[in-house]
Amino acid sequence: MNDSKLILVLGDQLSTQQPALRAAVPGRDIILMAEVAEEASYVRHNRHKIALLFSAMRHFKHELESLGFRVEYVPFEAGMSSLEAAVSQVLDANDVSEVMICEPGEYRLLEQMKDVWPRTLGTRVTLLEDDRFLASHTDFAEWAQGKKQLRMEFFYRKMRQRYQILMDGSEPAGGKWNYDADNRVGWRNQVEIPDRPDIRPDAMTSEVIEMVLAKFPDNPGDLRQFRLAVTKTDAERQFDWFVENTLGDFGTYQDALVEESPWVFHGLISMYLNAGLLDPLPVCERVERAWREGKCSLSAAEGFIRQVLGWREYIRGIYWLLMPEYKERNTLGAARALPAYFWDAKTDMRCLSRAIEQSLDHGYAHHIQRLMVIGNFALLAGLDVMEVCDWYLAVYVDAYEWVELPNTLGMALYGDNAVIASKPYAASGKYIQKQGNHCQQCRYKPTKVTGPEACPYNSLYWRFIDKHMDKFGSNPRMGLVVANWRKRDPQEREVIVSWADKMIADWT
């Protein structure tokens, strides 16, 4: 009996260390990689993401061939409709015993592969757990079992202990687990931001860029500014540059909102981690080593490692623990249509315009732009949960549903019955003013609540509190805000809420 296998490699699994490729035998098994219409268009993906994945996939094909593998590659130009169709085509032309796949990162695909494909393809489909992550599904489920609250901080401590990252024996380095309080400095041009090295697209990437421009003319993404690594080697070089040049300032200014730079001092590696071009544990170990060698502060190293070893693993755990029901949650009943300026950035709110414009053009925004500018606005305005989630999934290069959905639905929109966040991340214009310098170039004033010059975040914030004060009044972290709002003059409250209602009506 033929024991050869067909190994399907997805666009976010570009690592020889993923389990399906570790099990593959050169000369015996067939590797299939396919650029298909269904995966490229189920949301309006940013062209930077499409170009990154298609080019990275094509480069990875050559890497696999150099290792002796036979690779069946389906380019987008071939017009293949779906992954299932691509698999079926290869099965029809070859005698293989089974299809083997590292599990996908999105529930919809997992369900198709597990429940539908064995029947429609007429062959065994074996799904292997993606062990490139540092917490398995079982690990996370065991940690979550019996807990009333699934708070990231405690999961993160467990992960630090397990992998002995930033630990001095059994104690956290420096005596504290979390240095977040040291990493909230606003931006006032205190430090020069270094220019990042560009990666010149090679011939293969340039060809992909031209194809994406032709095939996806209406998608966001200014590919004239494409600067992403498409190989493991170049991704590692990008990460090395970050460690040597901006890690030292990353911690201090990681929450800063900066008019002059979309990148500031951030790592810009999430898209490489999520596609398989970088591995999470070596990344954390490298940053810890930089701290122990005196190249950055403990707060900078801890702040970075918390995002990778803690938050990234925690978010993935939440997704797989609670899907598919999780996707249907909408705790605050948010249902207002997404304003048109989410697709063209044409709004007078400077912070929001800059964050959206950057997201559309580059497929990138840092976590405070995503959470406290765009997400905060969507939360305060009551924008439709699924529309907002689909927008985040579409515009960001690092977005896959496992990472996007909990971050957006749970963290930004407080829509998941308080699984992730113990309080809504709602803030007025004063927070945005404190964190950066956008307000200096905005026609609105963060000191005003109503009137033509008033920052919209201010009245929207109080309207949000007013609308949900019965729910938030018993929240220990929101009770004081609600109590202060209740004490204000009823007429003043009505004026503020009415002004916010008028702005929302004008936008929609």
Average pLDDT over residues 229-236: 98
Please tell me the predicted confidence (pLDDT) of residue 189: 86
**Over the stretch 268-287, which tens digit does the pLDDT of each residue have?**
999 999 999 999 999 999 99
Please tell me the predicted confidence (pLDDT) of residue 333: 96
pLDDT-derived band of residue 1, with 50, 70 and 90 as boundaries?
Answer: very low
Give me the residue label for tokens 């340039």. Answer: 206
Burial class from Cβ neighbours inside 10 Å (0-12, 13-18, 19+) for residue 229 reads: buried
Whether 12 contacts 400, CB under 8 Å: yes
SS3 336: strand
Please tell me the predicted confidence (pLDDT) of residue 181: 83
Whether 126 contacts 151, CB under 8 Å: no
Average pLDDT over residues 11-39: 96
**Over the stretch 410-461, which tens digit does the pLDDT of each residue have?**
999 999 999 999 999 999 999 999 999 999 999 999 999 999 999 999 999 9
Is 508's pLDDT higher than 80?
no
Domain 340-507 has CATH 1.20.5.510: no
Residues 6+ apart with CB under 8 A from 363: 46, 47, 48, 49, 220, 221, 271, 395, 396, 397
Structural domain boundaries in the chain: 5-128, 137-194+246-322, 340-507
Q: Which two tokens stand for residue 340?
A: 């048109």
For 342-411, give the DSSP string. GTT---S-HHHHHHHHHHHHHS---HHIIIIIIIHHHHHHTB-HHHHHHHHHHH-TT--HHHHHIIIIII
Is 206's pLDDT higher than 90?
yes
Whether 117 contacts 84, CB under 8 Å: yes
**Over the stretch 461-493, which tens digit does the pLDDT of each residue have?**
999 999 999 999 889 999 999 999 999 999 999
Return the higher-pLDDT residue of 180 and 62: 62
Tell me what the pLDDT averaged over the chain comes to: 96
pLDDT-derived band of residue 222, with 50, 70 and 90 as boundaries?
Answer: very high
Beta bridge pairs of residue 168: 171
Using a pLDDT cut of 70, give the percent of the chain over it. 100
Please tell me the predicted confidence (pLDDT) of residue 187: 85
CATH code of 137-194+246-322, in short, is 1.25.40.80
HEC string for 215-263: HCCCCCCCHHHCCCCCCHHHHHHHHHHHHHHCHHHHHHHCCCECCCCCC
Q: Considering the entire predicted model, what is its pTM? A: 0.96
CATH ID of 5-128, from 3.30.70.20, 3.40.50.720, 1.10.3720.10, 3.40.50.620: 3.40.50.620
pLDDT-derived band of residue 506, with 50, 70 and 90 as boundaries?
Answer: confident
Peptide bond into 280 cis (omega under 30): no
Helix runs in 67-164, H state only: 83-93, 107-111, 117-121, 137-144, 152-163
